[in-house]
Amino acid sequence: MNNTVKLFKALSEEVRLRILGLLMHGELCVCDLMAVLDLPQSTISRHLSYLANAGWLAGERRGVWMYYRFIVNGGTLQQDQLAVLTKHLPQLPAVVRDRQRLEQYMRTKQQTACG
C-alpha cells in the first residue's frame, strides 16, 4: 500500500509529470532537463530523486553527468501504469510544448551544453 501510494504521489506534481513526459522519448541528464524546463538545478535534481525513490526512474552516472531513464520492469502495477502514461502524457499540451523545446535544444546541444 505504501509503495502504491508512493508511486501515485510521484505522479501528482506538475513538474514531475513534465519530466516524465520528456523522458518518454529516452534518457536525459539533469542539465538537459534544466535547459528544457528552464528550472533551477536544485529543483530538477530534487524531483528526479523523488521519481527515482518512488520506483519510476533509474539514474546512471556517466562521467560527470547523471542520466535518468524509466524503469521498465518495476512490478506489474508500475508497468501497467507506465503504459497509461505512455499513452496519455504525450497528449498533454504542456508536454507537447516541452517536447518541442527539447527538439530545439537537441539541435544546438553540441555547441552549447553538456555531453
Partner DNA sequence: CTTATATATCCGCATAGGCGGATATGTCAA
Partner DNA sequence: TTGACATATCCGCCTATGCGGATATATAAG
**Which residues are at the interface with DNA (CB under 7 A)?**
9, 13, 15, 29-31, 34, 39-43, 45-50, 59, 61, 63-66, 113-114
Distance between CA 93 and CA 97 in Å, rounded?
6
Residues lying near a copy of itself in the complex (CB under 8 A) are found at 1-2, 4-5, 8-9, 11-14, 17, 76-77, 80-81, 84, 87-88, 92-95
CB of 9 to DNA, least distance (A): 5
Instruction: Decide which of DNA, a copy of itself, none touches 57; Cβ closer than 5 to 8 Å per partner kind.
Output: none
Taking the least distance from each CB to a copy of itself, the nearer of 10 and 29 is 10
CB of 76 to DNA, least distance (A): 24
Taking the least distance from each CB to DNA, the nearer of 71 and 113 is 113
Instruction: Count CB atoms within 10 A of the CB of residue 47.
Output: 22
For the chain, what is the total number of helices (H) and then of strands (E)? Answer: 7, 3
Q: At 77, which helix (H) or strand (E)?
A: helix 76-88
Q: Is 59 helix (H, G, I), strand (E, B) or coil?
A: strand
Return phi, psi of residue 98, to 5°. Answer: -60, -40
Q: At 22, which helix (H) or strand (E)?
A: helix 14-23
CB of 8 to DNA, least distance (A): 11
